[in-house]
Amino acid sequence: MTSLTRLPEWQTFVQRAHEAAEINLREAFNQDAGRSERYSLESSGLFLDYSRHLINDSVLSALFSLARACNLEDLRDAMFGGEAINMTEGRAVLHTALRAPREASITVNGENVVPQVHAVLDRMYAFSEHVRNGNWKGYTGKSITDIVNIGIGGSDLGPFMATEALKDAGGRFKLHFVSTVDGWQINHILAQLDPETTLFIVASKTFTTQETLTNARAARAWLVQQADEAAVAKHFVAVSTNATAVGAFGIDTNNMFGFWDWVGGRYSMWSAIGLPILLAIGTDHFKSLLAGAHAMDTHFRTAPLEQNMPVILALLGVLYVNGMGSQSHLISPYNQPLHRLPAYLQQLDMESNGKRIRLDGEAVDYDTGPVIWGEPGINAQHAYYQLVHQGTRLIPADFIAALDNPGSSEHHHTILLANFLAQTEALMKGKTAEEARSELKAQGLADDAIERLLPHKIFPGNRPTSTILLKKVDPFHLGSLIALYEHKVFVQGSIWGVNSYDQWGVELGKQLAKTIENELTSGNDAVQHDSSTTQLIMRARAALQDRKVDRS
Ligand code: F6P
């Protein structure tokens, strides 16, 4: 594998990126009335305006050449074709198969996986309809009112994000998400619930995750204490790839919805992990969610790179990370239903491309995945946008909004959109010294006061943003939006030459936690760590012992 930085296309890219860093966006727009049209694109229900980036045709063409030199098109075909591109785990990467139509054929090890996908979907649809129409009864014969998803990471973030985003399409049940092993969360949630009408979904790809199993045991004990063992079958279902562990936990595998090792946890909301979404929004809406993602898959697989939305978003990211030294990427959704989107994208992007070893085992000599951060934009305006506007860092940002917003009043929505549009204009244009001076003059300030204030009132502008418009935050457009980011992550991983589909970096902390857990409960035995960890373990152990005494 030729190192990325040795490719001639890399050298050209770096040189053109230096030139692009000098672009003045305000001037670029003044000089070229067609800029926004040329650098915009519509697909799968999404509109992307990427004209407010530090780009020109020359740097874009260098980026597309770089992508081709990294064999992006072949790698993309290998992913869609079911090849084992997750080479450290020897697995295919086929979340796209989860939203493929029934008649499609995608083979893994010689077997068409699409019929299996639809068989599980059909079971999920039947189960969901049963629960939604009140025919699934709890141990006292009552219908379900509350659903609790117990899962963490990819077994929590997608369902939580999507059920929040699609609340207007749901509303049938009260949904609760238990993820942390801080027992405060599950205790507070259980305190609100009636065991007779609560359904628990234990969601874990591996069914070995300590946090999830600890919470599932607590929920099971809570139920059994108020009912009996037989109630478990009526109040617990599992979602997993590990039927043996589900059975060993005490959940009937008839109440299990499976998926496959070729679905990564952070790519799994389209699989049985999406059961809470399905229960919340019903079969037709869930099918629309899958259809939106499939539309984006088709676009990504077939559109030329130059007109390919995930490719363009990914290459813009490469431009800032590798061409301009940017360290982070801001996600600013404006619609409140999308409030969990940044958290969802943090796992999707950072667990995928937070890597420093390439597929050939060599360390990279360039930066890879940036820090992804953000929250709903209107709140962010009143919190940290100051730094984005006038701070010292280059922070590319994605601004995301739906043009229609049925859950809001026209007045609220107009103000929201006005702010959304104003921020990207302000970030791009900034405010010159002349503009700031004349504003201060108009306010009647004396000349010396103006000169004192002036430097603080200047906005440098030239802050790059993408604008992504959805028609509505509905299942189809949400599906398309999430698939857009999945493929963006794939493209960046392909260029950086890393495996976007493993996550060995989360293992070390898990191993150490096991050791420390034993040490915390092992009385006064000596522990052997560095002095800092030892000192902190001793304090935690003493606190746990005091707590035991207090409660005895
Ligand atoms: O520890 C990280 C991780 O493995 C994620 O990749 C995954 O989404 C999460 O934990 C939960 O894993 P599981 O679904 O197997 O419980």
pLDDT tens profile 86-101: 999 999 999 999 999 9
Find out whether the beta carbon of 266 lies less than 6 Å from any atom of ligand 1.
yes
Mean pLDDT of 63-67: 98
- Asked whether residue 3 carries a pLDDT value surpassing 90, the answer given is no
211 contact partners, CB below 8 Å, separation of at least 6: 152, 179, 180, 181
Dihedral through CA 208, CA 214, CA 216, CA 222, nearest 10?
Answer: 160
The number of CA neighbours under 13 Å toward the Cβ of 369 is 27
224-230 own/partner pairs: CB under 8 Å, 24+ apart: 226/195, 227/139, 227/140, 227/195, 227/196, 228/139, 230/139
Residue 211 CA to ligand 1 centre (angstroms)? 10
State the Cα–Cα distance between residues 211 and 154, nearest whole angstrom: 13
Question: What length does the chain have?
Answer: 552
Find out whether the beta carbon of 215 lies less than 6 Å from any atom of ligand 1.
no
Residue 233 CA to ligand 1 centre (angstroms)? 25
How high is the mean pLDDT of the chain?
97
Residue 384: pLDDT band with limits 50, 70, 90? very high
195 contact partners, CB below 8 Å, separation of at least 6: 138, 139, 222, 223, 226, 227, 231, 235
Per the listing, tokens 């040189």 go with 15
Q: What is the pLDDT of residue 334?
A: 98
Find out whether the beta carbon of 159 lies less than 6 Å from any atom of ligand 1.
no
What percent of the chain has a predicted confidence (pLDDT) above 70?
100
Q: What is the pLDDT of residue 380?
A: 98
Residue 346 CA to ligand 1 centre (angstroms)? 14
- In angstroms and rounded to an integer, the radius of gyration of the C-alpha atoms of the chain is 26
Mean pLDDT of 210-239: 97
Closest ligand 1 atom, residue 211 Cα: 16
Find out whether the beta carbon of 205 lies less than 6 Å from any atom of ligand 1.
yes
Active centre residues (catalytic): 351, 382, 510
Residue 431: pLDDT band with limits 50, 70, 90? very high
- Asked whether residue 215 carries a pLDDT value surpassing 80, the answer given is yes
pLDDT in tens, 449-482: 999 999 999 999 999 999 999 999 999 999 999 9
- Provide the 10 A C-beta neighbour count for residue 443: 9
Tokens representing 32 are 């070229």
pTM over 0.95: yes
Report the b/e string of 216-240 with b at 16+ CB within 10 A: bebbbebbbeebeeebbebbbbbbb
DSSP-assigned beta bridge partners for residue 60: none
Find out whether the beta carbon of 214 lies less than 6 Å from any atom of ligand 1.
no
- Asked whether residue 207 carries a pLDDT value surpassing 80, the answer given is yes
What percent of the chain has a predicted confidence (pLDDT) above 90?
96
Closest ligand 1 atom, residue 209 Cα: 16
> Between residues 226 and 550, which one has the greater pLDDT?
226
Residue 393 CA to ligand 1 centre (angstroms)? 32
pLDDT in tens, 153-206: 999 999 999 999 999 988 789 999 999 999 999 999 999 999 999 999 999 999
End-to-end CA distance of the chain: 63
Residue to mutate, 89, 150, 152, ligand 1, most ligand atoms under 8 Å from C-beta: 152
Helix (DSSP H) and strand (DSSP E) numbers for the chain? 24, 13
Tokens representing 230 are 């037989």
Find out whether the beta carbon of 153 lies less than 6 Å from any atom of ligand 1.
yes
Residue 163 CA to ligand 1 centre (angstroms)? 19
Per the listing, tokens 């791009």 go with 428
Q: What is the pLDDT of residue 525?
A: 82
